[in-house]
Every structure is written in C-alpha cells, then in structure tokens.
Amino acid sequence: MVENLNLSNTTVGIEVRGTKNSIISNNNISNNNCDGIYLDYSCNNNITGNNINYNNEEGIRLGHSSSNNITGNTITYNNWDSIWLWDSSNNDIKGNNISNNKEGIKLEDSRSNKIYFNNFINNTDNVYSYNSTNIWNSTSKITYTYNDSIYTKYLGNYWSDYNGSDADGDGIGDTPYSIDGDKDYYPLMKPFENYIIAPEVAIFDTGSPSNPYPSISGTHNGTIKPNHTVIATKLYTYPCEGTGGHTEYAYIWNETWNATATWDGYAGDWHNITFDKPIVLLPNKTYNYTIRTGSYPQIHHNTSLLTLNGWINCIKFVDTNGKIYDDWIPAIRLE
C-alpha cells in the first residue's frame, strides 16, 4: 500500500513490477523526470484518488499489465501522455479528470480495456489508439440524474473536442465519438460531475420501531433530509401486525418540484404505492412530505428520527379524530 505521500523530483514517482493486489491512493506525484506511476507485468492493482501533475513523461504508464483499476485520479499538465497503455488488457479506467496533457490517453497493442465516465479536456490530442480494440462506454445501463431528470442508459466519456448534439436532452451525444478504429458510442455532453449516479442502495428507510403503538390513521406532515442521494419510485408503509396499515396518499416536494402517490386499494402489493414520477432526494437537502395513512401503520413516537439514511422529522400529525401531535413519524421506506 502506497498512500498519502508527496512523491516529487525523482525519476519515477512510483514504480511497480511483477506485483499484484497493491493499492496506490491519495498521493501527490509531480515534477518527476520520467513517469508519475509505472506498472510493469502487474495485475489486480488499484490506482485511485491521486494527483499526478507536471511529470516529464507519462502520468500513468502500464506495460504488460492487466486487470488493474485506475479510478478517481486527477492527471494534468504531464509532458507526454496522461495514461499510456502498452500491451495491457482488461483494465478498468473510470472517473478520472484528464486535462492539459500532450495526449489524454494512448493505447498501443492493448485490448478489452473498459474506459468510461472520464473527462478528457484540452489535451493536445485527447486520445490515440494503435492496433487496439477497447470499450469506451459502460457495459451495462446506469441510472443517473442529469438536469433534474432521471435516465437509465449507457454512459461514455466527456471529450472537450466532441461537436455532436443532444436532441433529447439526456446528456448523451446523438452521434459517436470516433477513436481511430474504435468509437465511444455514448459520449457525455458535459463533464461527468454533471451526472449524478444512483448509489447501489438508493433508499430512505426509517425501519420498524420496537414499539409502534399506539397507532391510528391520520395525516403526517414533516421533513426528510437524506445523507446520500435517494432515487425512488415507491413508498412502502410498515403495518402493525395483523392490520392493513398502509398509506393512502403521499406528497413529497421542495420549492422546485413535487411528486404524488395514490393508493389503489387492497389489490396486489398494497403496502407499496407508486409515485407519478421518480423522486430524487439529494444529500443534505431538506424535503417536505405529507402522508395520509389508513388502518394502523407502524409509528415512531419521536419528534425527530436519525436513520442510516438521514433525518426524518415530524412537524404535525392530525389523527382521524382531529387530535394533533408533534411526535408521530410514520414507519416508511422509499425505494
């Protein structure tokens, strides 16, 4: 493991040969006479989160190396290539900011590398590929938010010299970006920071309280403040045991958008109700909710509740008899 170091003014900042399962992370690697990082005959290594700048030759060079991950690095102002792959295959290169180098990425006799969701900005040549066939977009569809709308599509890279259009506004160019014999079929219209990727677990879950009683139907008003991005289409209500506890109506909103869900009755999976559009809750932003429950849903008897996914707060609960409370939070899950 090589991490949290300043490696400057030498020949090669980090040189790894015949090595596997190493981690090179969060280093500042600059002003070296040759490469910032050089891997030779190495596999299954992770190069992540490094700043690699102003080196006299390559930022990162791979020779005869395979199955390495190069992710989340900032690689700028290197005199030769930002990343050079020679006789190297099956590497994953993702989430890197690559700018103002002689060449953004150079591939020679290298195949089956997956290169996507990178920024190639203002390099003298953004890409050079010789005798190489590689994959320049995600191999499965990705759910992402772009300009406040949600899409599930393949994603490529951002190329500062791409001149294509985006007629449907999904953030993906309508025509491929040509790379010698290859193509990026899904070029990004803006740098990847403008695309919010849904996390693998994108829910907001209050969980089930240890003692949900007393419980009664009524209308809940409160706020949700998630600690990660939540992308959801449904709301699930935890019912009290032996009851039909459910939500009849849900409304979630902020000052710029809103989404509504309405119960369809006791049919199918009736503890879930579906919103009229996908909802996107961004981390550390506050959203309002109104939830009208029927029968006997489970209740957290708190004014505020910290969950694994963030805060949920009760502003006011009005029960079916008109009584008002400030410490009733419905046990729900957004998914």
DSSP state of 301: -
Q: Which residues pair with 107 in a beta bridge?
A: 85, 129
What CA–CA distance (Å, rounded) separates 326 from 302? 8
What CA–CA distance (Å, rounded) separates 38 from 237? 54
pLDDT digits (tens, 9 = 90+) for 294-325: 989 999 999 999 998 999 999 999 999 999 99
**pLDDT value of residue 277:** 86
**pLDDT value of residue 266:** 83
What CA–CA distance (Å, rounded) separates 314 from 329? 6
- Residue in the structure block whose two tokens are 């160019």: 173
pLDDT under 50: residue ranges of the chain = none
Tokens describing residue 250: 């849900």
Parts of the chain belonging to CATH 2.160.20: 2-197
Whole-number Cα distances in Å, 29 to 3, 8, 124, 187: 11, 6, 21, 29
Contact 200, 171 (CB under 8 A): no
Backbone angles phi, psi at 139, to 5 degrees: -90, -5
CATH of 2-197, one of 2.40.128, 2.160.20, 1.10.10, 2.40.50: 2.160.20
**pLDDT value of residue 63:** 96
Parts of the chain belonging to CATH 2.60.120: 204-334
CATH of 204-334, one of 3.40.109, 3.10.450, 2.60.120, 2.60.40: 2.60.120
**pLDDT value of residue 335:** 87
Contact 136, 143 (CB under 8 A): no
DSSP state of 332: E
**Integer distance in angstroms from the first to the last C-alpha of the chain?**
38
For the chain, give the mean pLDDT. Answer: 93
Q: How many helices (H) and strands (E) does the chain have?
A: 0, 38
DSSP secondary structure string for all residues of 209-233: -S---S---EEEEEEEEESS-EEEE
What CA–CA distance (Å, rounded) separates 239 from 244? 6
- Residue in the structure block whose two tokens are 């772009």: 146
List of residues 6+ apart from 199 with CB closer than 8 A: 228, 229
DSSP state of 239: B
